[in-house]
Copies of this chain bind each other. A is one copy, B any other.
């Protein structure tokens, strides 16, 4: 956690807040495993990440899912893109790398 000041702590707090909810973390988790980061799954592939697919894995009302996706998007963790009737979701690799860098720099401080 040494070069954290390039980005404000509040920014990181926003990211952690987005990941602090079990349902949102589950969405994030599904998304990291679903697509090549930075790409959107096309629907004709085995794994797709449209909102409906998430819905079927998450035992919550679709309005609740929509709310959580908005939070993840506002935190910069995911990207969303309409494709016909569906909206495809994917991880934003830049934010992922940002957080990874935060913690790996903290870890190098050890030893």
User: Which of A's residues lie within 8 Å of B, judged by CB?
Assistant: 1-2, 4, 9-10, 12-13, 16-17, 19-22, 25-26, 28-29, 32-33, 36-38, 93, 96-97, 99-100, 103-104, 106-107, 109-110
Q: Is the CB of B106 within 8 A of A103?
A: no
Query: In the bound complex, what is the Cα–Cα distance between A2 and B16 (angstroms)?
Result: 19
Contacts of A13 in B (CB 8 A): 19-22, 25
- Residues on the B chain within 8 Å of A12, using CB: 19, 25
- The 3 closest A-B CB pairs, nearest first, are A17-B20, A100-B103, A1-B32
Distance, CA A38 to CA B16, complexed state (A)? 23
Beyond A4-B29, A13-B19, A13-B22, 18 additional pairs, beta carbon < 8 A: A1-B29, A1-B32, A2-B33, A9-B22, A9-B25, A9-B29, A12-B19, A17-B21, A32-B109, A38-B110, A96-B106, A96-B107, A97-B107, A97-B110, A99-B103, A100-B100, A103-B103, A103-B104
